[in-house]
A and B are shown apart, each in its own frame.
Chain A
């Protein structure tokens, strides 16, 4: 099935989160507001605006069961939005509740825990705020995970047991913490990450191979494997009980986001503008191919401009300058279509998330990009094409 492509805006989409029924999506269009779009046939129309933040919204998460939205922003605040009927008119609107984050730098990433009774906010204050609801005071309180984080936390991901939390940070490390809150959590069963788990226990710390910021982290569906993508154009898969770390250096630009689709498969995307599938097991991991079949559909489009095959630097730009130098050609060297990438996304992919689960596997994933596009991909439609992806080695 071909990917569904929706051009939501002419501005970058910083992040996106679908509602449980997929009829609505909350996005941040690189602004202070979160926009809710509702699907009408083949189009998305803006229906509501959540405005309360006074700086850029960096991350949004939509809890599927409790139907609550949480937004995190550079204004160091997070809000939990809940649909409540207006006492006078009875009209249902999204009402914000402020969260006491107690951080003094921007919030960078936010995710609900699997049970939706907690959420984690990553921040530039070298801390992760674990927030839980305090019914007595009717607000969200936070506890900070601080040690031993040395720099901005860029991403977080929850373990399915609702207690463990993975975090990727700009100090080039991916870590696994215990985010156990006595008032909320039952005593967790022992996992491969450890058995005694008081708050702020460090269950694992893994460095990126060539010193890149860890942009994205993710637990596998079972929670027994951790994957992280870092800015040194590599992706690492950690088996804590092995202990084995599989590191795949990729030949293209770095990934900034990833999601698992099954226990043996994950999708990563980023500056290369296409979602790439990796698969493997305890015995080893490798790149399989891209969800973006850039050869067949647009085969007539000529040589690939932009993130081409391995190591082909953009020869188009080179030849433009060479023509200008040797033959005095200026501008108009190529047609306007020359600047169009052969990938579906025309710019960096900012976020990839599971969209639809079928038979225990994520069958479709959604991506949003700096090009303002929201795309829904068939996660099994992997094209291992040479040329666009041929040189990927393990």
Chain B
């Protein structure tokens, strides 16, 4: 039976189709500026970690995290920065650090944990760290936090 018709993109023939970018408010910043920001934060985080101020470092990364299209490089840089923080934090300190974050921060952190686990190859390096943070974060912020990670189209 001919079922090639199932592969036709019928949305292409719909003038009123709902576009991906209509689903969230775009980041007002310029992509180049976002990348600059991300790199600057990298050094800010390093100095915060040198003072062993984990909460401050996390807040720096999670605030105004890059999202949306055209900022892939900034996203990768931010993820790398975040992983440095996660890797250097002692397991016993994690719950206190998470509790000190704002709800926005917790939601964004969860997004990055899932992103980290989704990156091919990255899981081998920091998989157990990510899972450890995920467990602790879920204990504090609940399954609602995971649901928000899944629904939010402002992907990091």
Contact = CB atoms under 8 A, between A and B. Distances in A.
A211 B154 contact: yes
A311 B107 contact: no
A206 to B, nearest CB: 13
Contacts of A59: none
B151 interface: yes
Contacts, number: 75
B62 to A, nearest CB: 14
Interface string A290-329: 0000000000000000010011110000000000000000
Interface string B13-35: 00010100011110000000000
Interface of B: 16, 18, 22-25, 103, 107, 135, 137-145, 147-148, 151-154
Nearest to B141: A251
A210 interface: yes
Nearest to A250: B144
* Secondary structure call for the A interface: loop
A150 B143 CA distance: 28
Contacts of A391: 140, 142
Contact of A210 (B137, B138, B142, B152): B152
Given A171-B23, A232-B147, A254-B147, A211 B152 contact: yes
Contacts of A150: 18, 22
Contacts of B23: 171-172, 211
Contact of B144 (A126, A207, A213, A252): A252
Contacts of A313: 135, 138, 143
B151 A211 contact: yes
Interface in A235-258: 249-254
Contacts of B22: 150, 171
A249 B18 contact: no
Contacts of A213: 151
B141 to A, nearest CB: 6
**Across the A-B interface, the 6 shortest Cβ-Cβ residue pairs:** A251-B142, A233-B144, A311-B139, A212-B151, A210-B148, A310-B142
A118 interface: no
Nearest to B137: A311
7 contacts: A211-B154, A233-B143, A251-B141, A307-B143, A310-B139, A311-B139, A311-B143
A234 interface: yes
A249 B143 contact: no
A313 B139 CA distance: 8
B18 A253 contact: no
Nearest to B17: A150
A312 B139 contact: yes
Given A171-B18, A232-B148, A233-B143, 5 more contacts: A126-B16, A233-B147, A233-B148, A251-B143, A311-B139
A311 B141 contact: yes
A231 B148 CA distance: 8
| Count class of interface residues, chain A | 20 to 34
Contacts of B103: 249, 393
Interface in A199-230: 207, 210-213
A252 B142 CA distance: 6
Contacts of A254: 144, 147
B18 A251 contact: no
Contacts of A231: 147, 151
Contacts of B140: 310-311, 391
A32 interface: no
A311 B140 CA distance: 6
Given A150-B18, A211-B23, A249-B103, A311 B152 contact: no
Contact of B24 (A211, A250, A253): A211
Contacts of B143: 233, 251-253, 307, 311, 313
B148 to A, nearest CB: 4
Contacts of A161: none
Contacts of A393: 103
Most buried by B among A232, A254, A391: A232
A38 interface: no
A150 B22 CA distance: 9
Contacts of B16: 126
Nearest to A308: B143
A252 B143 CA distance: 5
Contacts of A207: 25
Contacts of B18: 150-151, 171
Most buried by A among B18, B147, B152, B153: B147
Given A150-B18, A211-B152, A211-B154, A253 B138 contact: no
Contacts of A251: 141-145
Nearest to A251: B142
Contacts of A253: 143-144, 147
